[in-house]
Amino acid sequence: MNLLADALSWLADPSHWQGSGGIPLRIGQHLLLTALALVIASIIALPAGALLGRTRSGGAVIGAVAGSARALSTIGVLTLVGLWLGIGIGPPLVALVVLAVPSLLAGAYSGVQSVSGEVTAASRAIGMSSAQVIRRVELPLALPVIVGGARAAALQVVATATLAAYTADVGLGRYLFTGLKTQDYGQMLAGSILVILLAIILELAFAALQRLAARHAAPHSTPALSSRRTSS
């Protein structure tokens, strides 16, 4: 029997779509966890990146912090925090936040950095206050790149949120672990397919968001701005 066929028949089974272990609920949990991790990571990374973006030598700091966070293996953080906190979504959440921070940090930094000093100076010159400059000039101009960073982070988090199932009964990772442990590889592949579909949807959503931000930032310019991407 074909592995893919097993997975598809698992997905087609209506009983898998109902109840507390059902697919819709798991997708919801998965998205919620992803969103939570991204929000927390943004709260940490975006202000820091933006602030550093305004200075000259922030680049080295960003590189160091982002690189170090990236070097921490996700299951390592999960294991360590797990030993400390026990079961629940705490450990995966911490691990996912650590995972998301580098891309968001780099995005915020690059975005703010790319706003040229002349534009800021010109805005000041026509009488905008500091707050107005940030809100109406720098932020909109930096937004496409920041959204690009969020896009990269979202992709990594949604794929890795499967690890949450190691310590908590949440998310699509449940299908992966249960499938692996009970040798039900159809289930495991089905869970993976769902994660991939979720990732595609998120990718497209963020891409649209990025284009929207680019159009808002420079309504009359060419798509050059929208094709800017930060390295993840």
Partner 1 sequence: MTKKNLLRFGSVLGIAVLGAGALAACSSADPLDNNSGGSDEPESGGSIVVGSQDYYSNEIIAEIYAQALEAGGYDVDRQMRIGQREVYMPEIEDGKIDLFPEYTGNLLQYLDADATATESQEVYDALAEAMPEGVRVLEQSEASDQDSYVVTKEFAEANDLTSIGDLAGIDGLTLGGNSELEVRPYGPEGLKSVYGVDVAFTPIEDSGGPLTVKALMDDQVQLVDLYTANPVLAGGDLVVLEDPEALFLASQVVPLASDAVDDEAAAIIDEVSAALTAEDLVALNARSVDEEAAAPTIAADWLAEEDLA
Partner 2 sequence: MSWLAQNWEQVVSLAGDHLALSLPAIALSILVAVPLGRFAQRRPRLGGPLTSAAALLYAIPALPMLIVVPVLLGVPLRSNANMIITLAAYGTALLVRSVVDGFGSVDRTVRESATAIGYSPIGMFWRVDLPLALPVILAGVRVVTVSTISLATIGALVGIGNLGSLLTDGFQRGITSEVLVGILATAILALALDGLLLIVGRALAPWRRVRA
The residues binding partner 1 (CB under 8 A) are 1-6, 82-83, 86-88, 165-167, 169, 174, 177-178, 181-183, 185, 193, 196, 200, 203-204, 208
**Number of chain positions touching partner 2 (CB under 8 A):** 46
Q: Of 21, 32, 19, whose CA–CA distance to 191 is shortest?
A: 21
Backbone angles phi, psi at 182, to 5 degrees: -100, 15
In whole angstroms, give the CA distance from residue 143 to residue 100.
17
Is 111 a binding residue for partner 2 by CB under 8 A? The answer is no
Question: Among 100, 77, 78, 76, which residue's Cα sits nearest to residue 87?
Answer: 78
Q: Which is nearer to partner 1, 4 or 12 (CB)?
A: 4
Residues 6+ apart with CB under 8 A from 157: 34, 37, 38, 96, 99, 100
Is the CB of residue 187 less than 8 Å from the CB of residue 179?
yes
Residues 147, 173: Cα–Cα separation, whole Å: 26
Choose between 46 and 163: whose C-beta lies nearer to partner 1: 163
Interaction partner, residue 59 (partner 1, partner 2, none; CB < 5-8 Å by kind): partner 2
What is the distance between the alpha carbons of residues 107 and 97, in angstroms, rounded to a whole number?
Answer: 15
For position 189 contacting partner 2 by CB under 8 A, the verdict is yes
Identify the CA nearest to 177 among candidates 163, 161, 160, 157: 163
Which residue in 55, 73, 130, 132 binds partner 2 (CB under 8 A)?
Answer: 73
Asked if 108 interacts with partner 2 (CB under 8 A), we say no
Element (H, E) at 213: helix 185-217
For the bound state, the minimum distance from the C-beta of residue 3 to partner 1, rounded and expressed in Å, comes to 4
* Residue 39 makes contact with partner 2 by CB under 8 A: no
Asked if 178 interacts with partner 2 (CB under 8 A), we say no
CB of 131 to partner 2, least distance (A): 29
**Residue 63 binds which entry of partner 1, partner 2, none, with Cβ cut-offs from 5 to 8 Å by kind?**
partner 2
Rounded CA separation 136/182 (Å): 55
Judged by beta carbon distances under 5 to 8 A according to partner kind, the member of partner 2, partner 1, none in contact with residue 183 is partner 1
Residue 67 in contact with partner 2, rule: CB under 8 A: yes
Contact residues: partner 2, CB under 8 A: 3, 59-60, 62-63, 66-68, 70-77, 79-80, 82-84, 106, 155-156, 158-160, 162, 173, 176, 180, 185, 188-189, 191-192, 195-196, 198-200, 203, 227, 229, 231-232
